Structure formats: C-alpha cells, structure tokens
Structure 1
Amino acid sequence: MSALHAALRQFPVLDDCLHLGGITLTRLAERVGRTPFYAYERCHIQSRVALLRDLLPPSLQVHYAVKANPMPALVQMLAQLVDGFDVASGGELKTALDAGMAPARISFAGPGKSNAELRSAVAAGVLLHLESEGEMLRVARVGESLGITPRVAVRVNPEFELKYAGMKMAGGARQFGVDAERVPAMLRKLGGLALDFQGFHLFCGAQNLSASAICEAQRLCVDLALQLAEAAPAPMRLLNIGGGFGVPYFPGEKALELPAVAEGLHGLMRTLASASPQTQLVLELGRYLVAEGGVYVCRVLERKLSHGQVFVITDGGLHHHLAASGNFGQVIRKNYPVAVGNRMAAGPREVATVVGPLCTPLDMLADSMELARVEPGDYVVVFQSGAYGLTASPTAFLSHPPPLEVLV
C-alpha cells in the first residue's frame, strides 16, 4: 500500500470531497475563512492513544513530546489522554502548564537551557533532564537561590544508536546527553549536591519503522540504565526510554508493527519489576501520536504549462511546511502523500508539480506526481502533517502571512 493510500484511509471521502472531523474539506475551508491552514482531527489522535493503551503494558506511562506539535488546543486535548508531557523550551513549558498538566508530570529536556528557563522549571517543580555536568551545577545553583530542591534525571548518550532511524540522536559524539562512560562520575558529584535524583533519560533516535530495531534499542536502554543505577545516589524511580516510533510518509514505507513493539515492552516491564521494582518506565512519543491526524491545506491559484510540464501554483509552500518541501534541498527529496482534496473520486488525472508562491525552486510540495486534474480554486492537501509542520517551518521567509490551525 502506498503512503498516499495509507493516508487516505485515515480520512473518509464524502461526495468526492475529503471528510475531516465530520465535515467536508470544502465546508471546513469555508468555515476557516482563508487558506492555507492546518487541520488536526481529534478523533484520529484519540484513537491512536487508545490503541497504544490497548496494546502497551498498563503500568507503562505514555508522555507526549510537545515539540511535535505545540498547538495549544491540541496540547490541552492531549493533557486529558496521556500521562505526562516532555518540553524543550520555556515556551513549551508555558504551553504545557497552561494546558493543565501537573508540573510533576512534565519533563524538560534539551542541550541549551538558559538560566531563565532553568529558574522557571525549578520554580514550577518540573523534572529537568540534565544534559551535561555544567548544567547540573547550574541547576543546583538555581535551586539554592530559590530554596527548592530541583527534581532531576540524567540524560545519557549511550554508545549504541537506534538502527534505521530517520534521525539518530545517540551513539558517538553528540550534543545530547552525557556520554555513558562519564555518567558514574557525574552521579557521584550529583550525590553531593542539593538535587533530587529521579532516574535517567535515553533517547536514541526518531522516525523509525522497524519494530525489531526499536525493541533492540529499548532493551539496551533498560540494560544500560540498570547498570548505571548502581552508581546513583538514590534508587532509580524513573526511566524515560524515549520513543522513536515512525509513521510512513513515502512510497514503499510500511507502518510500524506496533504489536511487536508492545510485546517487547511487556518483557521489559517484567525485567524492571524484578531488577528495579520502584522504577517507572516512560515512553515518550510525539510524531506517532499526531502526525497521521493532521493535514495541510492550500488553495490552487493558477495552473500553467512550461515545456509540456504542468505546474500547479498554490498559496502555500515550504514557508509553512518545510518537511514536505524537502527541507531546503538538504535531503534527497521524496513526495509526501498529496491529493486534490475536493476531487477525490474517479475523474481526469494528470502528472503535475505542485509549487508555492515563493521565489525559489525549492518551494515545491509535489514533484511530477499523478493527481486529479487541478483547476484554480481547488484544494491541495498534504497528509501526514500533524507533526513537525508549522512550528518546524520558516514562516517569516518572504513575509507571507502564517497559516491558521484548527482542531476538528
């Protein structure tokens, strides 16, 4: 099954028009009032969380990585569905707190936290993932100045990596976390500071569709954490093993076999229950919860021919959806699932290239892709757009207005 067909299964079609959140795309666009816009379907996201709850061990905590999509309404909805949030900036911390998540269930990761961010996090009572020995000392000083004992976990950079990951974040020299061989010495120093040690955070990579690779990395993370815990100043009460669960974007990609991953996690829970019964295991997911529940919608302004090639020119592009455009040409470009949202039934089709209004050839949403024949006023839809879309894009580029966001 192609990535486009897989995406279309998430959203039904009614009267030749895509159907989102109980309303046709055309009617939704009328209600939004202008294009481009992102639409996130709450029922799909709720169903994804429910599926995880059905398959994963009951005592495993599922946290949402706010960086995947920090839209306030979406974060507020997820606050009622997941066990906690992970944030990576002071702005995300405010979003998480405003959504009603208890500070004790928020963790703060990232290699470059400012002193102001550390102060806000300590004052709020969230868990800080320490990315270096220097950050550990800064957090201790902040806690002393506020008269608060900060809650901390050590982020570990292991020697191993997550195989087949779209983005590797561990193994070798990294800006993330503390090299595993340095952690025991750091823990000894931590024991002499006024810090409340909670446990460890290990995040090896993102966007992985291989269940076997994810299971192997998770097992290695638990084994390493149990080994490092022997040098800890207090029992390991929490172990965040990240996530890395991917979603299919491109032709030939297959969805992650979640039951296989769940089976591995059941085994890890049994291991922890025996070796470290006080440890709470945390799975941190972002993209996997929200990516497939979102679409990006733009309007066709014009169609034109150039040397026999059809160009569909829209009011959206890389400034709103950098990933779909190919990330400024820094990767081998592949087409995201794209369709003409108001022409979903059988009809004339053509090979066309969908571009935006920007003055750069990199502003491309689909390259030589078979689509329904497009006319001005039609809606081009980019699927798999619920994660790392708007806030991961250069919205100020060429000073076009930002897109709207709606939760339907």
Structure 2
Amino acid sequence: MTQFVVSQGELMPGGDSLSRLAARVGQTPFYAYGRAQIRQRVAELRQALPSKIRLHYAMKANPMPALVGFMAGLVDGLDVASAGEMKVALDAGVSPKDISFAGPGKRDAELRQAVAAGVLVNIESFREVDVLAQASQTLGLPARAAVRINPDFELKSSGMRMGGGPRPFGVDVEQVPALLANLGRAGLAFEGFHLYPGSQSLSTEAICQALQQSFDLALRLSQHAPDKVRVLNLGGGLGVPYFPGDKPLQLEPIGEQLERLLQLAQAHLPQTSLVLELGRYLVAEAGIYVTRVVDRKYSRDQLYLVADGGLHQHLAATGNFGQLLRKNYPVAIGNKMGQPATQVTTVVGPSCTPLDVLADRVPLPEAQVGDLLVVFQSGAYGANASPHQFLTHPPCVEVLV
C-alpha cells in the first residue's frame, strides 16, 4: 500500500525493515501502527475541513494506550464508549472537558464514574437521566449531558447503519422533547446533541446529505432544549477503501458542506461548536497486521500458506466481523515486496475452523515458511475487535512505530 515505504524489497514501517521490526518485537503475529501515517491523515483532514470544526477521535476504533496518547496531541477531543476507554483517555492527559462518553449500555457505575470525572455523557435512554441525576446529587456535581438522537434518517451507502428505524443507539427523535424536559427538571448541565447515523461510507454525496440532515434535526430540537446548545456532534461515517474497486473519499465537498453548516450555526446556534467524530478514518490505513508463514501445503492442487495469526487476532480480515460477503483485505509478503505474484494462494490461520481465512485465492509471490505476511488496512477494529481467547493462542502484541 502506497502509504508505506518499501526499500530493497521490504516494507519499512516506522523506518525499519519489516524483518528488523519483527526481530525487535520478538514474536509474530503483531500489529504495527505508523505515527507518520496517522499524522499525515490528520493533517490532510485539517487542510480540507474548516478550521472551526472540532475533530474528535472515536477510541473504539483502536484504544491502544500509546496510540491514544499520540492521537491526543493531534485532535481536539476523544469519544469513549466505556469506563475502560475513559480511563485510557484520562491517563493520556486529555482534559475531561474534551472527552465525551457514548454507548447504549452504560452501567450505573460507569455513569457515576463519568460524572465524577467531569466528562460529557451522551444520554441514550430515560433511565440514564435518572441515574445521572442521582449521581449528581450524591457527588455534588452537575452531570454534563448531551442527548444522542436516533434520527428518522440513515447514512446511505454506509457499511454499518446506526441511525434511522428501530435502533439501540440513542433516543428516538420523537421522544427527544420529553427526554429534554426530564433532563431539565433533573438539573443536569445540558450541553448539546450527538448524532451518528452510520459509518464506513465511501459516498461523499451521502455523507454531505447526512451532515445537513443532522444539523437540521438538531436545530429543530434545540427549541425544546433546557439551555443553549454548546456542542453539536455530527458524527462522521467517513469510510476507507478495503477491497478492490473501493475508491478513497474526496474530502473537499465534505469540507465545503461543513463550511455551509458553520455559517448556519453562526446564524441560528451562535454558541455552538460543531464536532466531527472519526475513528476508522483516522487510523485504519495506518495499521498493518504481521503474521509469519509456519507451513506451506497443497490440497487438491490448491496452495495453502498456514500462518501463526488469524481469526483470533484479526476477526475483520477473515470476514467474520459482521460482513455479509467475505472479501480479501489487501495483503502482501512483506519481505518480498515487488516480486512477481506467481502463485494463487490461500492464507489461513492456525485455528481449527474453516472460518480462519486471511486471504482467499490471491496472487502472491512464492512464499516459504518464515516469510512475513502483511494484512493492510488493519489499524481499526483489529486487535480490539477479535476473540483473543479462542483456542488459547498467545496474546496479541501491538506497537506504535
């Protein structure tokens, strides 16, 4: 993949050859995330987006502490989805005022922790209002609260739809006025709204439409708010190309749309900051998964490479992370870059299941036992979204390079 340097036939993540990096890590498999690639992606966004747009990193994409600490210096805030992620964010030195907490299943204890920490809670049910009110009274701190809205539209052409229709996420738009009234009576410190209609969209037009619809909906609901709207999280949904035929997003139209929304906000919600919440888009292409070939075999004329990594550490690459149709992530033999792809190969992991396929019938250079297979686009929903305990294989290693 073009975001990584190749020298003398080897991938060079972080400036070192892949073989040297594997020796430094001391084992395979492992994930490596590139600082340079993350920094470049954020810089490209900053250049394309209006300067007044606040950029947040959604930690659920990749909560590795070292990566979060690095990201904290590049973005304007962090969005967490559990008390565990909140701890990582606070340990990274991020101010509680720049942390928001979303998720449909927040436990009472997590809500109390959020109030005590002073982070913004995106409320997703009437029950959460009651729990936050009780925690505020007990701690003597008014809970910072926003309302996550389940809108009456969805992000079209998205890989994962999280709004519109019946959803566990947020409060249905028709119920929001009643919830806002409850929030006001409970004395919570209302700050704004959060919408996230979908993710992994490669349609610029669909993203711009969803941003406009989200703003319009928040503007309409602001009439019922117990206080001024100070923050409007418009979500994100920006996708990355994983498979053949996928094309990268064009950022310029999205930046132009956000500029129009800033002008509308200045006219109708002058005290409101607009937030763009991105996870996958910031880190997916900065990460690689590296696994070593441990066996090479033929079965009825089909060549198989058996690797020491697979489904237990990279569920998404095997097509088992909610994908309807399995497609191959981009793969390469990382220590034989540039060599001709002379063999059609299927790469499988070590697990005793036919689901453990990292690459199905892909053209690759001739690989031998000991070679290093690289799965690209692995910086998001990789290690943290995989069943590490399956078959009790060794734990996964992650490094920031």
- Distance in 2 of aligned mates of 1:330 and 1:89: 24
CA contact (8 A) 1:209 1:254 kept: yes
- Distance in 2 of aligned mates of 1:372 and 1:54: 38
- Distance in 2 of aligned mates of 1:105 and 1:197: 15
- Distance in 2 of aligned mates of 1:9 and 1:266: 30
- 2:213 maps to 1:213: no
1:155-212, CA deviations, whole angstroms, 9 ceiling, x for partnerless residues? 0001000000000000010000011011111111211112000000000001011000
Structure 1: gaps of 5 or more residues: 1-7
Matched residue type, 1:75: V
- Out of 149, 153, 170, the residue aligned to residue 177 of structure 1 is 170
Tell me how large the CA RMSD over aligned residues is.
Answer: 0.9
Query: Residue 271 of structure 2 corresponds to which residue in structure 1?
Result: 278
- When the two structures are superposed, what TM-score results if normalisation uses the length of structure 2? 0.99
SS in 1 for 2:388: coil
1:28-67, CA deviations, whole angstroms, 9 ceiling, x for partnerless residues? 1111111000000001100111111111111110000010
CA contact (8 A) 1:355 1:363 kept: yes
Query: Residue 371 of structure 1 corresponds to which residue in structure 2?
Result: 364
Which structure 2 residues correspond to residues 9-408 of structure 1 after superposition, within 5 A?
9-327=2-320, 331-347=324-340, 349-408=342-401
SS in 2 for 1:207: strand
Matched residue type, 2:316: A
Q: 1:330: Cα distance to partner?
A: 5.8
Matched residue type, 2:332: A
Q: 1:225: Cα distance to partner?
A: 0.2
1:244-267, CA deviations, whole angstroms, 9 ceiling, x for partnerless residues? 110000000000111111111111
Would you say how many aligned residue pairs link Structure 1 and Structure 2?
401
Distance 1:346 1:324, change over 3 A: same
Matched residue type, 1:147: G
Q: Relative to structure 2, which stretch is displaced further, 167-176 or 345-354?
A: 345-354
1:272-323, CA deviations, whole angstroms, 9 ceiling, x for partnerless residues? 1111110010000000000000000000001100000000000000100000
Matched residue type, 2:27: R
- Distance in 1 of aligned mates of 2:236 and 2:242: 18
Q: Relative to structure 2, which stretch is displaced further, 319-328 or 200-209?
A: 319-328
CA contact (8 A) 2:125 2:171 kept: yes
1:315-357, CA deviations, whole angstroms, 9 ceiling, x for partnerless residues? 0001000000011686210000011000112346200000011
CA contact (8 A) 1:203 1:242 kept: yes
Distance 1:293 1:328, change over 3 A: closer
- Distance in 2 of aligned mates of 1:86 and 1:374: 41
Matched residue type, 2:108: N
- Distance in 2 of aligned mates of 1:259 and 1:9: 21
- Distance in 1 of aligned mates of 2:123 and 2:339: 55
SS in 2 for 1:327: coil
Distance 1:93 1:18, change over 3 A: same
CA contact (8 A) 1:328 1:362 kept: no
Distance 1:48 1:330, change over 3 A: closer
Matched residue type, 1:310: L
CA contact (8 A) 1:329 1:362 kept: no
Matched residue type, 1:394: P
Q: 1:369: Cα distance to partner?
A: 0.5
SS in 1 for 2:201: coil
Q: 1:403: Cα distance to partner?
A: 1.8
- When the two structures are superposed, what TM-score results if normalisation uses the length of structure 1? 0.97
- Percent identical: 59
CA contact (8 A) 2:100 2:120 kept: yes
Distance 1:140 1:348, change over 3 A: closer
